[in-house]
Structure 1
């Protein structure tokens, strides 16, 4: 029996699991898939900027149980192991898993797919935390902080920060119910290669809903004092100040979930070094897709494109055939929702209309098709045969 081990059950893994099971594992003799992940539920990160606003979306709009999805596969062909990879020995084709229930288990593989994704910094639920339970607990704590706050501070000038500031501004700041601040390190939100016109519109739309912009500034220290959080700020000119909030919402980037891999497999930033065939450098039987890999920035579109490619090429690898290259899409594509009625974005060098982004993304933030994505039946751009 040859074993395909998939590490992860998120955006990059979900379509791959179903499509490889149906096209390959279930149709060939002597093949089995083992999926390893610490989360009992699939987590839909795209909608999280709206989910953190109390009362906007229930948990079941963004978290979908994996057990009913995996139940359809026969036990002799499929196994789900609830745990996190703790050590990888590529020379022995062996991965050690720290099980959620305690203890550990060594799993041998013939082919390994690393789709472990990344974790949000500052213990935030933009991505899955250690487990689904911890993710839900942190999300609910954040919602309670926001609900009880007089002042809310969003820090970090990327896509998640801009969208979260927009959602909170739309809900609270525009009506004067709460003050919402957006602290970011540049003169404008976002950063190149986002078009200057898109960055300017992001600022304009946030100001329209009365979000207070704190530009060219970073948070240098966070101190809790009772129900307040005191933020120490440093401006680009070196001046310092403080800002007091009852709900601090950092959106300061991600860290790849690759601590289990040997240092030789990782680049300087902790990402698995990835070839244009989506293999780990120097390891022909190890594939990498999504945020854990070094080939592209951590974006949902890149994870999807890599997964679609591997769905097509993994059967070729199992047959010993030559693999085609994966071609990185060099166009910069962004869709930025700014509250529940406005948006901005770009396709390559062209700025897109607000209505188009709102219609394609902002209305539902993907929650209209997220259950199909969790089941591996659809991605953002591709619908597979049922």
Structure 2
């Protein structure tokens, strides 16, 4: 029986574990060990809306991981709440650290799916444990509720959705300011999508400041934030929410296998370059942007290749997906694109109106795969 260790209990790790286990009738049994510092799966796609008090209950975005795998015998699946500390790719060993201390796992195959974190330690990603993420989310909700002025910094998808959710909920009750260093919002999107996003945010009374950087932040005596802007102006706000910048969770991996930004370097088969029997998918990989649709595509492809390898067949090269983006702006509008095509706003809004929350349960139980 082959031992497959999967590091990471977010979407990439959980979905790949289910996909492999559901297909092992073709290959004979394997033993999957899923390692995650989080007891619960976190549907962080909905984080921009969850920051708004009363909008998303905890059990709608946090679901325990272990019960989702109860359908598999203990001989085929084990869940360990721990963090990866280091990996020896030559000896095929992983050192993990949990409540019981350090433990060494041997593997035949290893899948790195540890995801990424926000540079500002905000609850748009997990924060080291389920408890820490939940506590941070509750703290944000409390601060949003009492704040009259909120500055959202960074105008990628997360920043745009966050500003839209806040403004949709509070309208004229709170001043919502979106700041970006770029010449537009949603940089990298086709121009018409960026323009539509600006129009939708402005219709919600979001104050958008383009080509502006926040170069300093200091707390005032009354507990507010004084932001120093690149043009020399000062901006006093009750709450400051940075949404820019992610860092890969790859500190356990030898640096020779990481690029200059810390992402794990992979080849056309999603294999870690220069290593046998180790793959990396999702946010921690250097292959594609850290987006849900790419993580899902990579997970499905890797699971298929693992089954092929276990069946003594050749794996297939991965074909990168078409670039695209969809953003929900408020709860009734959206915009997005796929390749060079702008998607109809009603279609994006229809697909994203609940930020895919209904998909969390089937993901954790595996019925989605």
Length-normalised TM-score, structure 1: 0.92
The yes-or-no answer on 1:288 pairing with 2:280 is yes
The yes-or-no answer on 1:374 pairing with 2:369 is no
CA contact (8 A) 2:153 2:179 kept: yes
The equivalent of 1:9 in structure 2 is: 9
Residue in structure 1 matching 2:301, options 309, 319, 328: 309
TM-aligned CA deviation for residue 124 of structure 1: 0.6
CA contact (8 A) 1:15 1:375 kept: no
The equivalent of 2:225 in structure 1 is: 229
TM-aligned CA deviation for residue 25 of structure 1: 7.6
Unmatched runs of 5 consecutive residues or more in structure 2: none
TM-aligned CA deviation for residue 2 of structure 1: 2.7
Distance (whole Å) between structure 2 residues aligned to residue 102 and residue 135 of structure 1: 22
> What stretches of structure 1 move > 4 A for 4+ residues in a row?
none
Aligned residue pairs total 368
Output one character per residue of 1:67-105: Cα deviation in whole Å (capped at 9) or x when no partner: 211222222222111111010110110110011x15111
CA contact (8 A) 1:120 1:255 kept: yes
The equivalent of 1:354 in structure 2 is: 345
Output one character per residue of 1:291-343: Cα deviation in whole Å (capped at 9) or x when no partner: 111111111111111011112111122234321100012x3211111101111
The equivalent of 1:265 in structure 2 is: 257
CA contact (8 A) 1:279 1:287 kept: yes
Distance (whole Å) between structure 1 residues aligned to residue 258 and residue 25 of structure 2: 30
CA contact (8 A) 2:27 2:310 kept: no
Unmatched runs of 5 consecutive residues or more in structure 1: 379-383
Q: Secondary structure at the match of 2:194?
A: helix
The yes-or-no answer on 1:139 pairing with 2:137 is yes
TM-aligned CA deviation for residue 352 of structure 1: 1.5
Output one character per residue of 1:137-185: Cα deviation in whole Å (capped at 9) or x when no partner: 000111111000010110011110001000011111x3x1010000111
- 1:71-82 equivalences under 5 Å are 71-82=70-81
The equivalent of 2:120 in structure 1 is: 122
Residue in structure 1 matching 2:163, options 165, 172, 175: 165
TM-aligned CA deviation for residue 22 of structure 1: 2.4
TM-aligned CA deviation for residue 15 of structure 1: 1.7
Q: Secondary structure at the match of 1:295?
A: coil
CA contact (8 A) 1:152 1:248 kept: yes
TM-aligned CA deviation for residue 26 of structure 1: 9.7
The equivalent of 1:381 in structure 2 is: none
The alignment's C-alpha RMSD in Å is: 1.4
Specify whether residues 250 and 102 from structure 1 end up closer, same or farther in structure 2 by C-alpha distance, changes over 3 A only. farther
Output one character per residue of 1:202-233: Cα deviation in whole Å (capped at 9) or x when no partner: 11111111001111111122222342111111
The equivalent of 1:212 in structure 2 is: 207
- 1:74-113 equivalences under 5 Å are 74-99=73-98, 101-113=99-111
The equivalent of 1:333 in structure 2 is: 324
CA contact (8 A) 2:282 2:290 kept: yes
